[in-house]
Structure 1
Amino acid sequence: MTEHDNIIDVLKDLFELSDAKNITVDGKIATVEDLQEFYKESLVNLADLLGVSELYLGE
């Protein structure tokens, strides 16, 4: 997953991922865990851009 410099690009990626079909990781069909990791990475990127890293750091 790519780390973006702006909120709009993160949201675009999340929308594309939510509509994607036949997602693969390393040539294999993505598992639920793979998709969760993709979403989590994007949410962390979004939280960083919004300045609310405490959401995932547990502060």
Structure 2
Amino acid sequence: MEFENVKDAIQFMLELSEKGATMKTNGVDSTIDDYKEMYREALYSMCDLLGMQDLYLEEDKGAD
């Protein structure tokens, strides 16, 4: 998931976190893990837009 700008990414995250908001993944209600993945992808996109890829690239190094 990529965004045109940081504002769009933040808006997506705010909408995703609104009480009562539901999302579907492959036609099925999203799980907590699905929501976490959507948040993570939005954060990665914001890092890319801000030139801060090192924040998540460092995290990936520690996962090995």
Q: What's the TM-score bracket when you normalise by the shorter of the two chains? A: 0.7 to 0.9
Residues 1-59 of structure 1 correspond to what in structure 2 (within 5 A)? 2-19=1-18, 21-58=21-58
Compute the RMSD of aligned alpha carbons. Answer: 1.5
Q: What is the CA–CA distance in structure 1 between the aligned matches of 2:29 and 2:56, rounded to whole Å?
A: 28
TM-score normalized by the length of structure 1 = 0.87
Gaps of at least 5 residues in structure 2 are none
| Structure 1 residue ranges (4+ consecutive) displaced by more than 4 angstroms after TM superposition | none
Q: For residue 23 of structure 1, report the CA deviation from its aligned partner.
A: 1.9
The answer for unaligned runs of 5 or more in structure 1 is none
Task: Indicate conservation of the 8 Å contact 2:15/2:21, yes or no.
Answer: no
Instruction: Give 1:18's aligned amino acid.
Output: S
Q: Which amino acid aligns with 2:28?
A: K
Deviations 1:3-59 (A, max 9, x none): 112111111101011115232111111111100000000000001111110110007
TM-score using structure 2 length: 0.81
Single out whichever of 12-21 and 29-38 deviates more from structure 2.
12-21
- Percent identical residues: 34
Higher gyration radius (CA): 2
For these two proteins, the number of residue pairs brought into alignment is: 58
